[in-house]
Amino acid sequence: MPLKNTREVPAADIAPAAVETGPDVIARILKTLPNGPGVYRMINAEGEVLYVGKARNLKKRVQSYARLGGHTNRIARMILATAAMEFVSTETESEALLLEANLIKRLKPRFNVLLRDDKSFPYILIARDHEAPHILKHRGARKRKGDYFGPFASAGAVNRTINTLQRAFLLRSCSDAVYESRTRPCLLYQIKRCSAPCTGEIGLDDYGQLVDEAKRFLHGGSSTVRDELNALMMGASDNLEFERAAQYRNRLQALSHVQQHQGINPEGVEEADVFAAHTEGGQTCVQVFFFRTGQNWGNRAYFPRADRSLPVDQVLDAFIAQFYDDKPVPRLILLSHVVPNRALLEEALTTRAERRVRVSVPKRGQKRELIAHAEANAREALGRRMAESASQQRLLDGLGKLFVLDETPQRIEVYDNSHIQGTNAVGAMIVAGPEGLIKSQYRKFNIKADDIAQGDDYAMMREVLTRRFKRLIKEHGERGDNAATGSGSDTEDGGERDAGELPPWPDLVLIDGGKGQLSAARGVLDELGIAELPIAGIAKGPDRDAGREHFHVPGRDVFMLEPRDPVLYFIQRLRDEAHRFAIGSHRARRKKAISANPLDEIAGIGPTRKRALLAHFGSAKAVSRSGVADLRAVDGISEAMAQAIYDFFHERDG
């Protein structure tokens, strides 16, 4: 819901050229602030937003930052780094809460609690824009006409549910184009997963009844649907229609399969999200369970980024506001802890949902059992993550010793190329750190240089590394700068670097290749003035056997590792992941090139003219061979356009 009646308040007394920071800057800003609710942003000398907060009274809240005493180390560091502040006034504090959550997710300030890995949730959609509605998985904006059911915790949960619903209600899952082209039932009809309305095996009225049954089931009427199917089965059996009775029996078994795989299904909880948080070792896990129509639709674990000094209730409080920034809000939200802004959160979410939303911390009964179940899952998930982190840290320590690094590497970049005889060449970079593979940091490079000979892997590697590190220098400065390296545990403002905050510069670069690739890569680093950057090449062993890799490091003889060395396995995983990502990027580019049509490159040829040309001539190749008079005969093609099409193909041939 868009916020109304907000107004910007100028950031008074922005720091002068001397870049003054700290409480004195904040004290000067105080003079212009109103006493109403709003959102404030604290900004450092480089223009980076350090913190976003909301307040019932902006002046009183900011006044607390105008002195250093009485704050935690985290807040004191933030105040000392503040060079300017910006403000937005709102009508109510609940509007300020919603705006704060939106800004935090968008700006990702260093000193806020951040919701990480916030991927959209999948839904089940029964599309109603066709005479025979079909069932499918859906993500993103709800632009298509139909009924949406969710959220589900994962795509796997959606796929399993759809497969089972197909057995229970025989709904089609094919696209409209496939539906229109069918002349006989497909395999799904043969294995009793679809009722085949496409070929008239079932009438549209009867098919509509199946669709209504599926909707009722997903809306929570599972017992009613089961009773109806059971009655139909018994009636068919009494009439000696045993084949039809078996069909109803199979559908009933499919419905039972859905409910058996949903685990805990509490009575009296029709629509709710359950949040449970557990903190240990300075890390927090928030486990979220989704209950819709009285059914458990899965759970997901989150690990928000937060200062280690923050208590768990404050982490959970900030997490929930961000969680619902772009998601539908259920009628009931159950929490494991009493959060500071519970009443305000309830008011804000009610405003967003435009209906009553309750935020509750149950103390007894079945709802408390739900919380206990979620807490156990949060505790186990955090334990697994900490164990994986400890194992990952040992591997990083081993990697640092293997390549004689000054410190344990926090960011490792691995590079590989993929092509077929030089065509559709793609370079790939993957990134790993203390938390494993960081897929949000992956990058692909479409090889652009025209002077690269087909299949010249060395030239491709030079282009990839040149583009990567030129941009890195431009955006983050030289590697020797304190702000740029970030290798240690401290940030530039003196605070501790968060465990999930990777430095921009790599501590180690790995190249998939031997002496030649390494030499090409070192040449790039020398040209850019970063020759001191640690780099190594990984060459496949004889007969490309895994476990017999040769390592090429500048200034050292080629060496191998023991076949069972855990660090060797770790490096193999990194190399294989780079190879997988490079091949996937190459295949995607090749597929796009194969499906490209030369008509798309002609100015003035849109979808309508393109369809007319292909319908008239049959193919783009036939269009290219046609004369101006033949082209002019196509509906919608003027004489000037026909000449332009002819010139396009014949000039290019020449």
pLDDT at 593: 65
Mean pLDDT of 543-556: 79
pTM: 0.69
Confidence of residue 399 (pLDDT cuts 50, 70, 90): very high
Look at residue 430 and tell me whether its pLDDT is greater than 90: yes
Mean pLDDT of 146-165: 81
Look at residue 381 and tell me whether its pLDDT is greater than 60: yes
More confident call, 567 vs 592: 567
**By C-alpha distance, which of 357, 360, 381 is closest to 371?**
360
More confident call, 504 vs 452: 504
Look at residue 150 and tell me whether its pLDDT is greater than 80: no
Mean pLDDT of 275-294: 88
From edge to edge, which strands make up the β-sheet containing 295-302? 295-302, 283-292, 272-280, 332-335, 358-360
**By C-alpha distance, which of 435, 434, 460, 465 is closest to 449?**
460
Beta bridge partners of 413: 431, 509
Confidence of residue 19 (pLDDT cuts 50, 70, 90): low
Cα–Cα distance list, 212 to 74, 169, 171 (Å):
56, 9, 11
Confidence of residue 450 (pLDDT cuts 50, 70, 90): low
pLDDT at 8: 53
| Greatest mean pLDDT range, 356-365, 498-507, 541-550, 608-617 | 356-365
In whole angstroms, what is the distance from residue 491 CA to residue 571 CA? Answer: 28
Percentage of the chain exceeding pLDDT 70: 84
Look at residue 265 and tell me whether its pLDDT is greater than 60: no
pLDDT at 535: 94
Beta bridge partners of 333: 273, 359
Kindly state the greatest CA–CA separation across the chain. Answer: 93
Mean pLDDT of 159-171: 82
Look at residue 547 and tell me whether its pLDDT is greater than 70: no
DSSP states along 338-362: --TTHHHHHHHHHHHHTS--EEE--
Confidence of residue 2 (pLDDT cuts 50, 70, 90): very low
In whole angstroms, what is the distance from residue 97 CA to residue 326 CA? Answer: 14
pLDDT at 37: 92
Confidence of residue 288 (pLDDT cuts 50, 70, 90): very high
Lowest mean pLDDT among 135-149, 250-264, 573-587: 250-264
Look at residue 83 and tell me whether its pLDDT is greater than 60: yes
Look at residue 431 and tell me whether its pLDDT is greater than 90: yes
Asked if the bond preceding 151 is cis, omega within 30° of 0, the reply is yes
Structure tokens at 425: 């060449």
- Tell me how long the chain is: 654
Confidence of residue 247 (pLDDT cuts 50, 70, 90): low
Confidence of residue 24 (pLDDT cuts 50, 70, 90): confident
- The tokens 């180690």 sit on which residue? 508
Look at residue 212 and tell me whether its pLDDT is greater than 90: no
**By C-alpha distance, which of 465, 443, 560 is closest to 518?**
465
pLDDT at 508: 94
Confidence of residue 484 (pLDDT cuts 50, 70, 90): very low
Look at residue 552 and tell me whether its pLDDT is greater than 70: yes
Look at residue 250 and tell me whether its pLDDT is greater than 50: yes
Q: Which secondary structure element, helix H or strand E, spans residue 369, and what is its range?
A: helix 365-402
Look at residue 651 and tell me whether its pLDDT is greater than 80: no
pLDDT at 1: 46
Question: Within a 10 A sphere around the Cβ of 8, how many other Cβ atoms?
Answer: 10
Q: Which structural domains are found in the chain, ordered by start?
A: 7-107 (3.40.1440.10), 123-260 (no CATH), 273-286+300-383 (no CATH), 403-593 (3.30.420.340), 598-653 (1.10.150.20)
Look at residue 492 and tell me whether its pLDDT is greater than 80: no
pLDDT at 483: 43
Look at residue 495 and tell me whether its pLDDT is greater than 60: no
pLDDT at 542: 66
